[in-house]
Structure 1
């Protein structure tokens, strides 16, 4: 009761500060207090307008869907509008399908799988898009997948697709996102345990059907809110391996791109980053920072007190971000070099159009299942998870030799490099002092500096030049080279002499 009483006072205080401030610069955006409206705004800024809020299906709608009771529904993928430049589609190891999630009520998880263009012995790399609640097809078609979508809705090769150096998986998750669906609302996930258990079950099903790949090195990658998913998923795989629960998964590393992992540290970096980049003034910085101790206190409560305090901390701390944006104007918070035109920051609508074409849906075998590009319902369901610190499980993985790469585009505000650098440096593990004291070196691609790299043992941090939130979209060549070197344990290859550089802040 004492905690709830304090929490109530905390919320009242923050709402009073932000909703009735003496200085207009601290006002929240009108929709910032309402998560559903905020989620819709985020989705519409990408020019995405999914028909449904979540992919929970009525059983009677599944007559022509892949719901035939089998554990696996998978088929070779043959996109009808693929322009292969002389490559026969039949020769490509491209697959799409569903796995029934064993420990769910009625969930089926949709995925794309692309065999490596180089060798089947290449690592297996899984990609998770964040949101929470956005389909991984966003990355497939706009970042690091085998294809790009042309203006006439054809598909052409992506010269820098990650399938050039890996066997590549994209999964629609959590359940209800993309083409992944359930007929039972109990399969909607609210925390990382549910998310990571589903993903572990997915991998067990995948490697059961593809046993020849189980021996390959395995890496987990993703961006944005996947900064929560990825550490939890990596820990779940590691736990399953130790307990010999099922097929051993050869986990070698996990990579987080512009992620949200340790909110207490990262929310504290918003004003510092914005000031450094000239987005806000010093007086704005100091006024907004008066609320930071309240945000930090709310996050601490979330870590110990469950769901109510986690919701309150979401409201409190996102007021800081909203206050920064109220001063920044129409900048694109995914890439501060750009402006959002009206309500549009990016145009990813071609993905929705493509995946809603009947011939494409037939090729994917999804039947009547709707494509939910980004789910507002999944977003809201995960709000109690938002402010939890997922850094806490990482040191144990590092101690057991599982590699971590944290990378961030330098012009992203929402999951900026400064906040990511700070939590990586603050993380307590046996190599912390050596990592903190190690020199930074330029990350060199084709004789040009593509970023700044700091490494010690299994831990690496890379600040990527000339990139925003979506590094593989903004710097595709550097991102492919990053993956290739990291999976081969040669990330610092071709680097220049060590320098003292600013990303150690």
Structure 2
């Protein structure tokens, strides 16, 4: 009986093993069949869609793509795969790239592109922004896709392109662990570029440009600075085969740079569009307060908490797209879903992955549009301010071009001025960046008609450009492809934006500003910045006002009779270097029958206005400005007083009086205070 049981078990095991071996053999046979099928598929595809002979062979060349439109004969010259960028033997870090070569151009520049996130795949940039490929749905099924060329054109029209998924874990990139510091990512990127240049040696001396958007506003200045250091070190070695990276400029779209400042100003676009109004500002103020306090107390929650203002506006506005205040979430999601389904859910995704040479990846899933794990790994650095790297790039004379869509609520132009004004090397440059009048950037569209591409400032010494782009949001090339192509071409050919009109003056705005100021009303000179330099005794942006000078050594008192609304100016300028003693202080007293708005600047050079001031006091009838309360005004200041004498609702212009006095006082002694 025992022998019978043993025999039965042996036969059962043999049967199981036979089935297992049969399955393995079947799997191997199927694998060989699939491999043969793919080779046949590629051979047939090449016959139908021949590539340019200049598109040389290598192990990363793309021979075939599923769902390619049969009507599109031309098949672009493309390469894709991963390059290992590990910094240590125990690491296995692989960055994915998709490279496009324009074989009809002679030695075109090479442009690298990266999306942000952190953890967002650059396939978004490829398929939705400026890449040469376009995927569309032909039905509702997971086989209903059509892949072809972007009929609107692409950046490939003017340059060779590399779309890179970084850091490790983003998109098709993979590794045995994820990195959590930008410095490591910068080292990975430099290693990637040097390995790419070895794999494609035709680019060794070619001009290289970096580009990206959003969180790449942190990546790109850091990587640019790292490349500058890499090149310096390579030059010091004086090797014949030194791996110099010929980086010419870096383009950064709608950058996320200074998280706290940018996240606490995300309401400005919605407010300007009147999507939210004064009734919503209490909630905005409360959420801003939570943001600032969370950063101070619970750093790991900062990103989530500081994003609540955008969430509130999105909900309040019934789905207004946070990346573009001129659109709604429902406008964008279908576009994103097509790409997502094509890359992740299509029935031929495995054929796609083989064509892209990513099947060795052990990441699950192989592709992610936006990786939560990458984002979580960067949690610590996400809310850190990265503007210092812009300053470092300026110091190294690395060209930076910042461009931003006017409707971007998250990282648009309205969120950027504060951190830009903190760039010391930009402020100290002789280009007087923020004093410039902005230029109009014109370009020709595909019909040959001039269009307004934006408004910009350029500092030639700092090599810094800031361009505000109309009719666009966070993803500028989606709506302004022709403009971005011209922007790139300008730097390829001139290393700066240029005026494409027949006369340079047509791109300037300073003469328009001077005309608006009536050319300073013959009381001053209008400079090429569009601002008036007033003659002595005159003041105001248009030099129409006479200013009342104040002196520490002399008392002043005056009454001003007026009808309607008027502006008055008072300036303390210490010409004789008179200094208040420690026991002295002065007071400027103002009183009016009508409400006053008072704007103050602590220097005596520029006019304080409702837009530019150090202090402001609104809707006052009496105000005392004293150095006891404001010691920063001891040596000089300018006060602008606007007296409102118009009742707009009833169309009444009131006659009224402003009284002003200025006196120096001695502080009472301690014993005098005690006696009183």
Q: TM-score, normalised by structure 2?
A: 0.58
Equivalent position to 1:492, from 488, 494, 498: 498
Equivalent position to 1:176, from 169, 175, 183: 169
- CA distances 1:84-117 after superposition (whole Å, capped 9, x unpaired): 977543xx43111111113150111111011135
Q: Secondary structure at 2:228's aligned position in 1? A: helix
Partners of 2:209 and 2:186 in 1: CA distance: 15
Q: Secondary structure at 1:230's aligned position in 2? A: helix
Partners of 1:241 and 1:379 in 2: CA distance: 30
* Aligned residue number for residue 371 of structure 1: 367
* Aligned residue number for residue 390 of structure 1: 386
| Distance 1:414-1:346 versus aligned 2 partners, 3 A rule | farther
Report if the CA contact (8 A) 1:113-1:169 is conserved.
yes
Give, in angstroms, the shift of residue 294 of structure 1: 6.1
Report if the CA contact (8 A) 1:339-1:345 is conserved.
no
Report if the CA contact (8 A) 1:77-1:96 is conserved.
no
2:117 pairs with 1:125: no
* Aligned residue number for residue 313 of structure 2: 324
Partners of 1:481 and 1:396 in 2: CA distance: 27
Unaligned residue ranges in structure 1 (runs of 5+): 1-62, 65-71, 302-307
* Aligned residue number for residue 144 of structure 1: 130
* Aligned residue number for residue 97 of structure 2: 111
* Aligned residue number for residue 40 of structure 2: none
2:355 pairs with 1:359: no
Q: Which has the higher contact order (CA 8 A, sep 6+)?
A: 1
2:211 pairs with 1:221: yes
* Aligned residue number for residue 433 of structure 2: 435
Give, in angstroms, the shift of residue 420 of structure 1: 2.5
Partners of 1:95 and 1:277 in 2: CA distance: 44
* Aligned residue number for residue 404 of structure 2: 408
Report if the CA contact (8 A) 1:485-1:493 is conserved.
no
Unaligned residue ranges in structure 2 (runs of 5+): 1-30, 33-57, 139-144, 445-449, 514-610, 613-676
Partners of 2:210 and 2:376 in 1: CA distance: 25
Report if the CA contact (8 A) 1:235-1:393 is conserved.
yes
- CA distances 1:160-196 after superposition (whole Å, capped 9, x unpaired): 31111112100111111211112x22xx122211221
Partners of 1:207 and 1:442 in 2: CA distance: 37
Q: Residues 217-366 of structure 1: matches in 2 within 5 Å?
A: 217-244=207-234, 247-285=243-281, 287-289=283-285, 292=288, 295-296=291-292, 310-341=299-330, 345-356=333-344, 357=348, 358-366=350-358
More strand by share: 2
Equivalent position to 2:471, from 466, 469, 483: 466
| Distance 1:259-1:499 versus aligned 2 partners, 3 A rule | same
* Aligned residue number for residue 17 of structure 1: none
2:148 pairs with 1:160: no
Report if the CA contact (8 A) 1:120-1:167 is conserved.
no
Partners of 2:281 and 2:222 in 1: CA distance: 33
Report if the CA contact (8 A) 2:268-2:409 is conserved.
no
| Distance 1:84-1:389 versus aligned 2 partners, 3 A rule | farther
- CA distances 1:120-179 after superposition (whole Å, capped 9, x unpaired): 522211101112212111111111111111333223322431111112100111111211
* Aligned residue number for residue 135 of structure 1: 121
- CA distances 1:356-401 after superposition (whole Å, capped 9, x unpaired): 5233222212226421222111122222121111110112222332
Q: Which moved more, 1:278-287 or 1:218-227?
A: 278-287
Give, in angstroms, the shift of residue 79 of structure 1: 2.4
2:83 pairs with 1:99: yes
Give, in angstroms, the shift of residue 471 of structure 1: 0.9
Report if the CA contact (8 A) 2:225-2:396 is conserved.
no
Give, in angstroms, the shift of residue 217 of structure 1: 1.5
* Aligned residue number for residue 18 of structure 1: none
Q: Secondary structure at 1:255's aligned position in 2? A: strand
Equivalent position to 1:417, from 398, 413, 416: 413
Give, in angstroms, the shift of residue 298 of structure 1: 5.8
Q: Which moved more, 1:483-492 or 1:251-260?
A: 483-492
Partners of 2:101 and 2:184 in 1: CA distance: 28
Partners of 2:157 and 2:482 in 1: CA distance: 11
* Aligned residue number for residue 376 of structure 2: 380
Give, in angstroms, the shift of residue 261 of structure 1: 1.0
Partners of 1:138 and 1:475 in 2: CA distance: 16
Q: Secondary structure at 1:337's aligned position in 2? A: coil
Give, in angstroms, the shift of residue 286 of structure 1: 5.0
Give, in angstroms, the shift of residue 484 of structure 1: 1.6
Aligned CA-pair RMSD: 2.9
* Aligned residue number for residue 449 of structure 1: 452
Partners of 1:168 and 1:84 in 2: CA distance: 24
Report if the CA contact (8 A) 1:453-1:492 is conserved.
no
Partners of 2:416 and 2:61 in 1: CA distance: 39
Work out which of the two has the higher radius of gyration on C-alpha atoms and give 1 or 2.
Answer: 2
Q: Secondary structure at 2:184's aligned position in 1? A: helix
Partners of 1:148 and 1:283 in 2: CA distance: 43
Give, in angstroms, the shift of residue 453 of structure 1: 1.8
Report if the CA contact (8 A) 2:499-2:507 is conserved.
no
Partners of 2:254 and 2:103 in 1: CA distance: 27
Partners of 1:219 and 1:172 in 2: CA distance: 17
More helix by share: 1
Report if the CA contact (8 A) 2:269-2:325 is conserved.
no
Partners of 2:489 and 2:72 in 1: CA distance: 26
Report if the CA contact (8 A) 1:149-1:156 is conserved.
yes
* Aligned residue number for residue 29 of structure 1: none
| Distance 1:296-1:240 versus aligned 2 partners, 3 A rule | farther
Partners of 1:291 and 1:350 in 2: CA distance: 35
Partners of 2:441 and 2:276 in 1: CA distance: 30
